[in-house]
Amino acid sequence: MTTLVMKFGGAALGTSAGLAQVLAIIADELENWDQLLVVVSALDGVTDSLLDAAHFARIDHPRGYRRIAANLRTRHLALIDQLPLDRPDRNTLQADIDQLISGLLDDCLAIANNLNEELSPIHSDTVVAVGERLSARIIAALLRQNNIRGVAVDGADVLITDDVHGNANPEIVPTAQRVNSVLMPILQRDMIPVVTGFIGATADGVTTTLGRGGTDFTASVLSALIGADELWIWTDVDGIMSADPRQQRQARVIPRLSYNEAADIAYFGARILHARMIAPLAEAHLPLRVKNIFAPAQSGTLVASGEGDAIPVLKAVTSIQGLSLRRPTSGSLAGVTRLVGNTLFKTLGMRSEVLIASQSANSSFICLVIPTSIGIDGVDRLQRALQAKMAEYPEKMPWEIDRVSLVTAIGGGLHQAPRLMSRVLEQMDGIEIFGMALGASNCSVTVALADKDSREAVTRIHDLIIKSDSDSA
Ligand code: ASP
Ligand code: MG
C-alpha cells in the first residue's frame, strides 16, 4: 500500500489556471499511488484579509469587517464561476460559501460585542479559519466534478491542539485517535480527504490555528500519523532556494537537503516552509518534496536523510529581523532573560526563543528572533512592549533596545569544518558583528549585525555558495 500526501499552498490555489494544474496533478498521482490525501491552504491573501477582519471586529468597526466579508464572498464566487462545475454542484458550493461567510459575520459581531468568551481578542482563530474552510470545499467539489472522489474534511475535526491560539501545537495522542476515526475510513473507501490546513481545535472543540504558513505543519503531522510514504508540497516556485530570489538574482534551487538543513532554512527566515513542520517528518524518516505546480515534471527540492549529509558544504543563506538588547556597561544577563521571556509571552501570546545571548568583558548582548507567525508588525509591537517593561524595572537598566538582522549560513557538517566556517566569517570583513551563534543541529552559523549591513552580508555569503558549487562541479 503506497500513500502520498500533497499540500497545495495559497499561491497555487488562487486562480482558475492554478486550480486546473492542481486537478491535473491529483489525477496523475492517483494513477501512481494507492492512497492520496490532500491538504489545502486558503487562497492567496485570504488569511491576511481575515486577520484584518478580526482586527476590525476587535475595534468594533462593522463597516471594515463587512467590506472584507463581502470581498471574500465575491472572490470565491467569481472563482467557482470559472470552474467547470455543473449546476447542482455549483449551487451547493454557493450555498456553502454563503453559509461560511455569514458565520464569519456572526463571529465578527460576537468579537465586537465581546459576547462570546471563546472569541476574546486573542482568540480570533474562528474568524481566520474560514479561509481554509472555503478553499477545501472548492477543491473537493472540483475533484468530484471530475469523477475523483474528494471529501472536504475540517482540520478542527482531526487536529487536536493545545490552546495557544494563533500558534497552537498539535497533541499527538488525541490527534492520532481522530486520524483513525475520521481520516482512515475515508482513505480505506478509496476516497481523497481534502483537509483544511492551518486549523485545529482544542480538546473542548474551540478552533485554533497553527501559526502563519501552518498548512505545511498540518500536512507533516498528518503524513506521519497516517504512515504516508512521501509528502509533496506544491507551491509556485521551483523549490527551496539558496537565498531569497527577490534579493539575490543568482539564487538557485537546492536539489537536496537534510532535515536539519531544511529546518534551519525555515527557522532562520525563508518563508517557504513552516519551521515546526520538519520535526515530525525527520522522526518518521518521511521524505519531503517541494515542487512547482506550473512545472510538475521538475524534481524540485528533496528533503530526506542521506549518505552525503556529513560532507561539509554550504547550501543556503537566509536573513531574518530581530531585536537586540545591549547593555553598554558590564553586567549580568541574569533576570533580564526571564523578564524578556515573560514580556514575549504576555504581550504576544506566543512561544518564542532567545536565540543568542553573549556576554563579554565590557558589554552584554541578547538577541531575539521573532517568529514570522506573529505578523509583520511583530517587531514593532515587541519593541514597544520591551521598552515599557524595562521602564518598570529601572534597576535593571540601562539596556538599549535596537533592531538587528540575523544572517545565517546553512550547510551540513559546517561545525566540523573550521576552514569552511572561517571562509564564511572572512566574508564579513569590514562588517561589525554584534554576536554569533552555532545552530543546535550542527549545520548553521548565525551572525547578528546592523540592519543596514544585512543585504551586503547575504550577498557575500551567497557568492561563496555559488563559488563553492562551481568549484565542486
Ligand atoms: N492560510 C494560512 C496562512 O496564510 C496558512 C498557510 O497558508 O499555510 O498563513
Ligand atoms: Mg507557506
**Could you tell which of 215, 216, 221, 235 is best to mutate to test the pocket of ligand 1, judged by most ligand atoms within 8 Å of the CB?**
215
- The answer to whether 160 and 223 are in contact (CB under 8 A) is no
Ligand 1, atom nearest to 48 Cα: 4
What pLDDT is recorded for position 36?
Answer: 98
List C-alpha distances in Å: 91 to 96, 151, 425.
9, 17, 61
Over residues 285-303, the pLDDT tens digits come to 999 999 999 999 999 999 9
CA-42 nearest atom, ligand 1: 1
pLDDT at 7: 98
Residue 1: predicted pLDDT: 93
pLDDT tens digit string along 364-388? 777 776 665 565 667 777 788 888 8
pLDDT for position 442: 83
- Does residue 196 have its Cβ closer than 6 Å to ligand 1? no
| Percent of the chain residues topping a pLDDT of 90 | 63
In this predicted structure, the answer to whether residue 119 has a pLDDT above a threshold of 70 is no
Task: Tell me how far the alpha carbon of residue 195 lies from the centroid of ligand 1, in angstroms.
Answer: 13
d(CA 6, CA 197): 11
CA distance 315 to 312: 10
71-87 burial: b if 16+ Cβ within 10 Å, else e = ebbebbeebbeebebee
Q: Is 220 in the pocket of ligand 1 (CB under 6 A)?
A: no
Mean pLDDT across the chain: 89
Digit-coded pLDDT (tens) for 433-462: 988 888 878 899 999 999 999 999 999 999
Q: Is 211 in the pocket of ligand 1 (CB under 6 A)?
A: no
CA of 47 to the centre of ligand 2 (A): 11
Q: Which atom of ligand 1 is nearest to the CA of 215?
A: 8
Q: How far is the CA of 271 from the centre of ligand 2 (A)?
A: 6
Instruction: Assign 3-class secondary structure to the chain.
Output: CCEEEEEECHHHHCCHHHHHHHHHHHHHHHHHCCEEEEEECCCCCHHHHHHHHHHHHHCCCHHHHHHHHHHHHHHHHHHHHCCCCCHHHHHHHHHHHHHHHHHHHHHHHHHHHCCCHHHCCCCCHHHHCHHHHHHHHHHHHHHHHCCCCEEEECHHHCCEECCCCCCCCECHHHHHHHHHHHHHHHHHCCCEEEEECCEEECCCCCEEECCCCCHHHHHHHHHHHHCCCEEEEEECCCCCECCCCCCCCCCCECCEECHHHHHHHHHCCCCCCCHHHHHHHHHHCCCEEEEECCCCCCCCEEECCCHHHHCCCCCEEEEEEEEEEEECCCCCCCCHHHHHHHHHHHHHCCCCEEEEEEECCCCEEEEEECCHHHCCCHHHHHHHHHHHHHHHCHHHCCCEEEEEEEEEEECCCHHHCHHHHHHHHHCCCCCCEEEEEECCCCCEEEEEECHHHHHHHHHHHHHHHHHHHHHHC
- Nearest ligand to the C-alpha atom of residue 214: 1
Q: Report the pLDDT averaged over residues 154-180.
A: 95
Using alpha carbons only, give the angle 17, 23, 27 rounded to the nearest 5 degrees.
145
The three cell numbers of residue 54 are 478580526
Question: Nearest CA to 303 among 324, 278, 275, 328?
Answer: 278
For residue 351, is pLDDT > 60? no
What is the predicted pLDDT for the residue at 366?
78
Closest C-alpha to ligand 1, atom 8: 213
Q: Quick one: pLDDT band at residue 344, thresholds 50, 70, 90?
A: confident
Distance 10 CA to ligand 2 centre (A): 7
166 CB under 6 A from ligand 1?
A: no
State the Cα–Cα distance between residues 145 and 19, nearest whole angstrom.
Answer: 13
* pLDDT (0 to 100) of residue 331: 65
Q: What is the pLDDT of residues 184-222, one digit of tens each?
A: 999 999 999 999 999 999 999 999 999 889 999 999 999
| Ligand 1 centroid, distance to 42 Cα (angstroms) | 6
CA angle 454/277/450 to nearest 5° reads 10
Cell of 336: 533580564
Atom of ligand 1 nearest to the CA of 132: 1
Residues 6+ apart with CB under 8 A from 11: 18, 44, 235, 236
Q: How far is the centre of ligand 2, averaged over its atoms, from the C-alpha of 219 (Å)?
A: 11
* Calpha distance 25→38 (Å, rounded): 11
Q: Is the model's pLDDT at 106 over the cut of 80?
A: yes
Per-residue pLDDT, 58:
87
Query: What is the atom index within ligand 1 of the atom nearest the CA of 198?
Result: 5
Q: List all residues 6 or more positions away from 239 whose beta carbon is below 8 Å from its beta carbon.
A: 253, 254, 255, 290, 291, 292, 298, 300, 301
pTM, full prediction:
0.90
Higher pLDDT, 360 or 162: 162
CB neighbours of residue 391 within 10 Å:
9
Does ligand 1 have an atom closer than 6 angstroms to the CB of 212? yes
CA distance 169 to 166: 10
Question: Would you say the CB of residue 131 lies under 6 angstroms from ligand 1?
Answer: yes
Which listed ligand is nearest to 47 at the C-alpha? Answer: 1
Q: 42 CB under 6 A from ligand 1?
A: yes
Evaluate if residue 117 carries a pLDDT over 70.
no
Residues listed for the chain? 473
Q: Is the CB of 292 under 6 A from ligand 1?
A: no
Distance 201 CA to ligand 1 centre (A): 16
193 lines ligand 1 (CB under 6 A): no
Q: Please give the distance, rounded to the nearest whole angstrom, from the Cα atom of residue 216 to the centre of ligand 2.
A: 7
| pLDDT for 180 beyond 60 | yes
Q: What ligand is nearest to the CA atom of residue 217?
A: 1
At 24-39, the pLDDT tens digits run 999 999 999 999 999 9
Q: How many CB atoms lie within 10 A of CB 275?
A: 23
| Number of neighbours of residue 37 by Cβ within 10 angstroms | 24
The ligand with the least distance to the CA atom of 209 is 1
Beta pairing partners, 101: none
Q: Which ligand has the nearest atom to the CA of 199?
A: 1
Cβ-contact 406, 369 below 8 angstroms: yes
CA of 115 to the centre of ligand 2 (A): 33
Q: How far is CA 215 from CA 39, 136, 471, in A?
A: 7, 12, 38
Contact indicator for 8, 150 with CB cutoff of 8 Å: no
| Ligand 1 atom 6 nearest Cα | 213
Look at residue 282 in the predicted model and tell me its pLDDT.
96
Residue closest by Cα to atom 7 of ligand 1: 213
Is the pLDDT at 323 greater than 70? The verdict is yes
Which residues are registered as beta bridge partners of 405? 321, 449
Report the largest interatomic distance among the alpha carbons of the chain, rounded to a whole angstrom. Answer: 75
Average pLDDT over residues 253-260: 95
pLDDT (0 to 100) of residue 182:
98
**Between 122 and 302, the higher pLDDT residue:** 302
Please, which residues have CB less than 5 A from ligand 2, an ion? 9, 213
